[in-house]
Amino acid sequence: MNIILLGPPGAGKGTQAQRLVDLHHLRQLSTGDMLRAAVKAGTPVGIEAKAVMDRGELVSDAIVSALIGEELDATPETGAIFDGYPRTAAQAASLDDILTQRGRKLDHVIELEVDEDALVERITGRYTCASCGKGYHDRFEQPREPGVCDRCGSTEFKRRPDDNEETVRTRMAEYRAKTAPVLPIYEARGIVSRVDGMAEMDVVTASIEAILGQ
Q: Is 152 in the site for Zn ion (CB under 5 A)?
A: yes
- Site membership for Zn ion, residue 148 (CB under 5 A): no
CA trace torsion 165, 170, 172, 178 (10° rounding): -170
- Indicate the length of the chain as a whole number: 214
The only residue of 28, 30, 128, 154 in contact with Zn ion, by rule CB under 5 A: 154
Q: How far apart are the first and last CA of the chain?
A: 12
What secondary structure does DSSP assign to 47-114, as a single string? HHHHHHHHTTPPPPHHHHHHHHHHHHHHSTTS-EEEES---SHHHHHHHHHHHHHTT----EEEEEE-
Q: How many CA within 13 A on the CB side of residue 31?
A: 19
Q: Of the two residues 107 and 150, which places its CB atom closer to Zn ion in the complex?
A: 150
Choose one: 32-40, 59-67, 154-162, 172-180; the region binding Zn ion (CB under 5 A).
154-162
- 132 lines the binding site for Zn ion (CB under 5 A): yes
Least distance in angstroms from the C-beta of 142 to Zn ion: 13
Q: Is 131 in the site for Zn ion (CB under 5 A)?
A: yes
Site membership for Zn ion, residue 151 (CB under 5 A) = yes
Is 159 noted as a catalytic residue in this protein?
no
149 binds Zn ion (CB under 5 A): yes
Binding site for Zn ion (CB under 5 A): 129, 131-132, 134, 149, 151-152, 154
Catalytic residues: 13, 87, 126, 160, 171
